[in-house]
Amino acid sequence: MAQDLIDVLIRQWKTERPDLNVEPMGVVGRVLRLATRLERRVSETLKPYGLTVGGFDILATLRRAGDPQGLTPTELMEAVMLSSGAMTNRIDRLEEQGLVERRPSPNDRRSLQVLLTAEGRKVVDKAVADRLDEAEDALCGLKAEERDQLADLLRAMLQGLND
């Protein structure tokens, strides 16, 4: 297999600091580089819709929930792992774009529900299709069994980090 930048870095560290175990960099370094590249690709895919990755995550979470009553900001916060301040800002931006609306909760007058607007539903349905095409394209170099193996290994790594 061809060498990449991470191989070069590992080789250099082994030369300069042979006392260090730099082998974990082979995995972690590649995962970090891959995450950066994938996030850039996703951002480009969502740009025509005026969405950020974070905004898309909120719209997609609302769409997947399938609940016509929507979700509370707290439920959204837990689903996309954001702080309350960051969630409020993202919901504000999506509301300004006409993609979500806030309504009083039918179950608790002190609480709000965040719902997709008709436009929000239309946008997220188109964006998710493009997002999935982009994900498929990103994996084009892997066979189905390699994808499954990679998914299992990444899941194990995430679980090992308690994520």
Question: Is 38-160 in CATH node 1.10.3260.10?
Answer: no
Average pLDDT for consecutive 10-residue bins of the chain (163 residues)? 90 96 95 96 97 95 88 89 85 97 86 94 97 96 96 95 76
**pLDDT at residue 163, as a whole number:** 52
How do the domains of the chain map onto residue ranges? 38-160
CB 59 within 8 A of CB 124: yes
- The residue with tokens 């609302």 is 62
Q: How many Cα atoms sit within 13 Å of 152 on the Cβ side?
A: 6
pTM of the model: 0.85
CB 97 within 8 A of CB 5: no
CB 116 within 8 A of CB 60: no
**pLDDT at residue 56, as a whole number:** 96
Name which of 148, 132, 163 is nearest 45 in CA terms. Answer: 132
**pLDDT at residue 69, as a whole number:** 79
**pLDDT at residue 110, as a whole number:** 83
Q: Number of helices (H) and strands (E), helices first, in the chain?
A: 7, 2
Q: What is the Cα–Cα distance from 111 to 102, expressed in whole angstroms?
A: 10
